[in-house]
Amino acid sequence: MPLLRPTRRVSVYKSKIHTRLSKIAPWINAARLRTLPLSISGILAGTALASSYGSVDNTIFILALFTAIGFQITSNFANDYGDGVKGTDNEDRIGPKRALQSGLLTRKVLKKGIVISILFNIILVIAVVYIAFGLENIEYILLFTVLGGLSIWAAIKYTIGNSAYGYRGLGDVFVFLFFGLLAVLGTLFLYTKNLTWSSVLPAISIGALSTGVLNLNNLRDHESDKDSNKRTLVVLMGYANGLKYHTALISIGLLSFLVYIIITFKCYFQLLPLVVFIPILVQLIKVNHTRMPSLLDPELKKLAISTFLLSLLFYLGNNIFCKFDI
C-alpha cells in the first residue's frame, strides 16, 4: 500500500493542474493570443526609429510592450463581450468561437475581466509615462495620460454600447490611428521627446497594414456582420470593393515603408524589412483571387504575422545591426 501513495500524489497534483488550466483556458480564448504580435508592431517600429536617433531605453521598451499588449487584451475582452451581447457572434460566423458565444465565460465574469484589465492598463500607462518623463515634464505627462485614456476608451467602445464605432464603419479609422500613428509616433516620443516628418512614414505603414488585418477580418465576416447589422466598411462598400480597398491599404503600407528606407538610408541592414514584402505581396495576390470568405481566415493570420516581422526586422536593423552617427 505505501508504494501507491506517490502515484496518488501525482494523480492529485495532475488533477489540480487540470483544474487550474480549465479555469485559465477561457481567458486565454478571450485574450486571443494570436492578435498580440500585431499589437506590439507599432512599439517595435517606434523603438527602431528612436534607435536611429540614438535613443535607447530598455525599461521604456519593456513597459511600452506590456502596455500595448494590455490594451489589446482589453480590446479583445471588450470585443468578445460586445459582439456576444449584440448577437454578432453566432453560428453563422466563420471565425473561431468566442468565449461568451460558446459559454466559456458568462457576461458577468467577462465584464469583471474587462474592469480588471483596465486597471492593469492604467497602472502600466502611469509607469511608462513616469519613467519616460519623470515629474518635471508635466505637460507630456498630461498629454500621454489623456492618450492612454483614449486608448482604453477606443479598446472598449469598438463593440460595446449603442454607439460602438465598430458598428458604424469607423473601426478602420481607429485601427489606423491607434495601431499606426499613435503607437509608432507615441513610442518614438517616449524615448526622444521629439518627432520628425520622416517618422510619419513607418507609422503610416504599420497603420495601413494593421488596418489591412481588420479589413480581412471584415471581409471574412461580411455576411454575418450584415445580418447582425454590424456596418463595417466592407458591409457598406461590398465584398468586391472591399478587395480593392485591401489592395490600396497594402500598397500604401509597403510604399510608405519603402520611401522611408530610401530617404533615410545609411546602412544595408535597413533593407532587412524588405524581405517581408515578398510574403505580403504573395498574400495580397491570393486574397484578390479568393471568392469564398471562409478561406480568408488563414490570410488574416499571415498578414498579422508579416506585419509583426516587418516591424521586428526594422527594430533589429536599427537597434542592433546599424550604428548611426547622430
How do residues 124-160 score in pLDDT, each as one tens digit? Answer: 999 999 999 998 889 999 999 999 999 999 988 888 8
**Residues 231-251, mean pLDDT to the nearest whole number:** 93
Provide Rg for the chain, Cα atoms.
21
Would 20 be classed as within a structural domain? no
Would 19 be classed as within a structural domain? no
| Residue 180 identity (one-letter amino acid) | G
At residue 15, does pLDDT exceed 70?
no
- Are the C-beta atoms of 246 and 284 separated by less than 8 Å? yes
At residue 14, does pLDDT exceed 50?
no
C-alpha cell at 218: 471584415
Measuring CA to CA, which residue among 189, 219, 206 is closest to residue 298? 219
Would 26 be classed as within a structural domain? no
| Residue 274 identity (one-letter amino acid) | L
Instruction: Find the angle CA(56)-CA(59)-CA(61) to the nearest 5 degrees.
Output: 65
CA distance 59 to 50: 14
Q: Residue 114: give its domain's CATH number.
A: 1.10.600
183-192 vs 41-52: helix crossing angle, rounded to 10: 40
Would 10 be classed as within a structural domain? no
**Residues 32-37, mean pLDDT to the nearest whole number:** 84
CA torsion through residues 117, 120, 122, 127, sign: negative
Q: How many domains does one find in the chain?
A: 1
| Residue 18 identity (one-letter amino acid) | H
161-199 pLDDT, tens digit per residue, is 777 888 888 899 999 999 999 999 999 999 999 999 999
What DSSP letter does each residue of 178-225 carry, written as one string? IIIIIHHHHHHHHHHS---STTHHHHHHHHHHHHHHHHHHHHHTHHHH
Would 103 be classed as within a structural domain? yes
Range of 278's domain? 35-321
- Are the C-beta atoms of 223 and 272 separated by less than 8 Å? no
Would 216 be classed as within a structural domain? yes
CA distance 70 to 284: 30
C-alpha cell at 148: 492612454
pTM: 0.88
SS3 state of residue 93 = coil
Would 22 be classed as within a structural domain? no
Would 273 be classed as within a structural domain? yes
- Between residues 319 and 8, the one the model is more confident about: 319
